[in-house]
Amino acid sequence: MSGTKATQVDSMKQAARAGAGGARTVEAGPRPGFRAAMAFEFTKLWAVRSTRTTLAVALAAQLAMAWLIGFSAWASGVNGYESAMPAPFMALACLQLAQLIIATLAALAITSEYSNGTIISSLQAVPVRSRLLGAKAAVLGIVGLGSGVVLVGSGTLVAALAAGTYGAFTVSDLLLALAGGGAYLGMLALVMLGIGALLRSTAGAITGAFVLLFGLPQLLPLFAVDWVQRVVVYLPTTAGQVLGTGAVEPYGSATAIAVLVAWAGVLLGAGMWVFTRRDA
Amino acid sequence: MITLENLGMDFGSVRAVDSLSVTVAPGKVTGFLGPNGAGKTTTMRMLLGLDAPSSGRALVNGVRYAQLAAPLRTVGALLEPRTGHRGQRADSHLRGLARSNRIPVARVDAVLQEVGLGEAGRRRIGTYSLGMRQRLGIAAALLGEPEVLVFDEPVNGLDADGVAWIRDLMRAKAAAGATVFVSSHLMSEMQSTADHLVVIGRGKLLADQSMDAVLAASAQTAVVVSSPQAGVLAAGLERAGYLVAVAGPDSLRVTGATTQEVGGVAHSLGVRINELGLRRASLEQAYTELTAQSLDYVPTRIGEEP
C-alpha cells in the first residue's frame, strides 16, 4: 500500500516536472534506463533454475578436471618425468570443459526467449532493442567474467593440493590466470550472445560453439596450407590460453586481448545489427 | 489513446494490413474484430513495435511504442499467452518486468491477487494451465497500472468464471478512463463487452462505429409491429418509405425505422396496435453481414495505393 502511495507522489512530482517540459505524455515514476534493463536481464537469468544448475555443473566439472590434472602432474613428477606446471595454469587448461557450459548459458539467454515466446514480453518491457541486447551483453559479460575468476581460482586451489610441489606457483602466475580466465569467458559469453542473436536457435548456437571452440582448433591445423596456419592462432581459444599464461608465442597479451575483443565485437555487432532490424 | 495512421504491412505479395486509419479513444472498450487472418494480431504487433510497418504509423499517446519512456507504465498488452520461461516462477517473471520499468515490486503481489493467482504465483510457469498462463499475461499487462490496455484474444483458455471476470475487468478499466483495445472472435462475448467496434477483413477497415450503430445498420435489426389492420399499416409504412415484410398473420417487420416512427405512422392512420418492439440483431448477425461483404474484396496489389 505504501508503495502505491509513493508512486502517486512520484507521479505528481513527475507531472509537475513534465508540465514545464512540453507535450510529452506524463508517465508516473522514475524513467527506466540501461540499469533497469540490466536488472531485468539479471532477474531472468538468475531466476531460472537451469542457470544455477548449469553453473554448479561447470564448477563441479572444473574441480574434477583440476584434481585430475594436478594429480597426474604429481604422479608423473614423482616418477621422474618433467611435469611441473604452476597450478593456476592447470586450472586455466581445465576451462576447456567449463567454457562450453558458459557458452551454452550465454546463447540460451537469447535463443530460449525465442523458443518460449518470452521475447515478446521482453520487447514490450524494453522496446529499445539495442538497450535490451546491450543489457543482456552486460549481464552475461559480468557472469562470464565472474565465472572465469571463480573457476580458475577454485581450480587452482584443487590443482595445487593435488599436485603438491609440482604445482608450485607465484602470485603473479595466479593473478595472470585469474585475469586471463575471466577475460576469456567474459568475451566468450559476448561471442555466444552474438551467435544466438544471429541464429535465434539453441541447436544452431550450440553447434556454432562446438565448431568455434573444438572443431576449428582441431581441424584447421591439419591443413598444411600456409595461410591457414597463420589464421588458426587467431581463434579465441588460442588467444585465451595466451592471455592466461602470459605466453609470448604466437603473440603477446595485448594482441590476445585485441583478438578476443575483435571476435566479441564482430559477432555481437552482427547479432545487434540483425536484432535491431528484424521483426520479433 | 491509440492512433493508427495509414498503417500497412506486406508479407511478400500479401497485403496483411492495408492502410488502416483508426483512432481508439479512452474511456471505452473498443472491440477489434475480423475473421482469422484478417490482420488483427499483425496490427497489434505493429502497435507494440514488434513488427515494423511497411507503411504508415501506429502511435500510443502520439508517439511510437519504442519512444515511450516507461512502456509498461503506459501500455499493458497481452499478445502471447505462452510467455515466460517454464523454469521461472510466475512472481519472479513479474518481478523482472517490474524492475525493467522501475515499477514498485510491491505491485507484483497486488496484480497476482487481482488476477486470482495469489499463492499460485510462487509456482513455476511450466506447471501452469493455459487459463493460468492467460491470467499471468493479464497480470503482466496490469503491472504498471497503464492507461492503455491491448488484449489479443484474452478469453482464450479461460473458463466461464474467467470470461466473466475479464469482461468486468475491461469494463471497469474503461469506466476509469483507460483505453481498452481488445480483439476477439467470440461475438456474444464482444457484444456484452465492447462499446465501440473496429472491424477489419483482409487487412482493410470494414467498420469503425459504436456498437449501437453497427447493430442498427444490420438488416437483421427491425421493428416488429402487430396489428389487426396489418395490411393498412403496411401500406402506410411503405408510403412513408420504410421497408416492410410480413412476419406473421397480423405482424410486420419494418426495417430502417425506429419504434417511435412506426408508432407515429400507426397513430396518424388511426390503426390499432397490439405489439410494438425492436428486434435487435445480434453482433454475430451484424458481423456476418459485414465480413461477408469483405469476401468480395479484391485485394489491392502491391504498389497500387488505393
Answer yes or no: is pLDDT of B236 > 70. yes
Answer yes or no: is pLDDT of B112 > 70. yes
Residue B58 is placed in which grid cell? 501506429
Inspect the interface and report whether the beta carbons of B83 and A116 lie closer than 8 Å: yes
Query: Measured between beta carbons, which residues in chain B are less than 8 angstroms from residue A1?
Result: 106
Query: Measured between beta carbons, which residues in chain A are less than 8 angstroms from residue B51?
Result: 279-280
What is the structure's pLDDT at A28? 59
What is the structure's pLDDT at B114? 94
Reference A139, options A202, A260, A56, A51; nearest CA is: A51
Reference A268, options A138, A77, A85; nearest CA is: A138
Q: Is A15 on the interface with B (CB under 8 A)?
A: no
Please provide the size of chain A in residues.
280
Inspect the interface and report whether the beta carbons of A117 and B82 lie closer than 8 Å: yes
Question: For residues B14 and B22, which has the higher predicted lDDT (pLDDT)?
Answer: B22
Reference B1, options B79, B103, B101, B75; nearest CA is: B75
Answer yes or no: is pLDDT of B296 > 80. no
Whether the Cβ atoms of residue B96 and residue A43 lie closer than 8 Å to each other: yes
Residue A184 is placed in which grid cell? 576469456
Whether the Cβ atoms of residue B81 and residue B133 lie closer than 8 Å to each other: yes
Inspect the interface and report whether the beta carbons of B100 and A39 lie closer than 8 Å: yes
Question: What's the gap in Å between the CA of A60 and the closest CA on chain B?
Answer: 22
Reference B201, options B304, B306, B299; nearest CA is: B299
Q: What does the pLDDT look like over B176-220, one tens digit per residue?
A: 999 999 998 888 889 989 999 999 988 899 999 999 888 888 878
Residue B71 is placed in which grid cell? 512502456
pTM of the model: 0.85
Average pLDDT for B268-288? 89
Report the DSSP pairing between strands B28-33 and B196-201: parallel
Q: Which of A29, A126, A280 sits opposite B100 (nearest CB)?
A: A126
Answer yes or no: is pLDDT of B143 > 60. yes
What is the structure's pLDDT at A16? 40
CA-nearest residue to B53 within chain A is: A279
Inspect the interface and report whether the beta carbons of B82 and A116 lie closer than 8 Å: yes
Average pLDDT for B108-123? 94
Distance from C-alpha of A133 to C-alpha of A44, rounded to nearest angstrom: 13
Q: What is the mean pLDDT of each run of 10 residues along chain A (280 residues)?
A: 44 40 48 94 90 92 95 91 89 90 93 91 95 97 96 96 91 93 95 96 92 89 84 90 83 92 96 93
A14-28, A262-276, B61-75, B127-141: the lowest-pLDDT one: A14-28
pLDDT class for B90, splitting at 50, 70, 90? Answer: very high
Residue A193 is placed in which grid cell? 550472445
Inspect the interface and report whether the beta carbons of B69 and A126 lie closer than 8 Å: no
Q: ipTM above 0.85? A: no
Whether the Cβ atoms of residue B215 and residue B286 lie closer than 8 Å to each other: yes
Query: Measured between beta carbons, which residues in chain B are less than 8 angstroms from residue A118?
Result: 83-85
Distance from C-alpha of A228 to C-alpha of B57, rounded to nearest angstrom: 51
Average pLDDT, chain B: 90
Q: What does the pLDDT look like over B147-175, one tens digit per residue?
A: 999 999 998 888 888 899 999 999 999 99
Inspect the interface and report whether the beta carbons of B96 and A120 lie closer than 8 Å: no
Query: Helix and strand tally (H, E) in chain B?
Result: 11, 13
What is the structure's pLDDT at A80? 84
Q: Which of B88, B99, B140 sits opposite A39 (nearest CB)?
A: B99
Through-space distance between the first and last CA atoms of chain B, rounded to whole angstroms: 26
Q: How many CB pairs under 8 A join A and B?
A: 127
Distance from C-alpha of B98 to C-alpha of A48, rounded to nearest angstrom: 17
- Alpha-helix runs per DSSP H in B130-258: 130-142, 160-175, 187-191, 211-217, 230-239
What is the structure's pLDDT at A245? 81
Question: Testing the interface with B: which of A9, A27, A275, A276 to mutate, by most B Cβ within 10 A?
Answer: A27
Residue B128 is placed in which grid cell? 501452469
Residue A21 is placed in which grid cell? 517540459
Query: Helix and strand tally (H, E) in chain A?
Result: 12, 0
Distance from C-alpha of A7 to C-alpha of B188, rounded to nearest angstrom: 38
Inspect the interface and report whether the beta carbons of B51 and A280 lie closer than 8 Å: yes
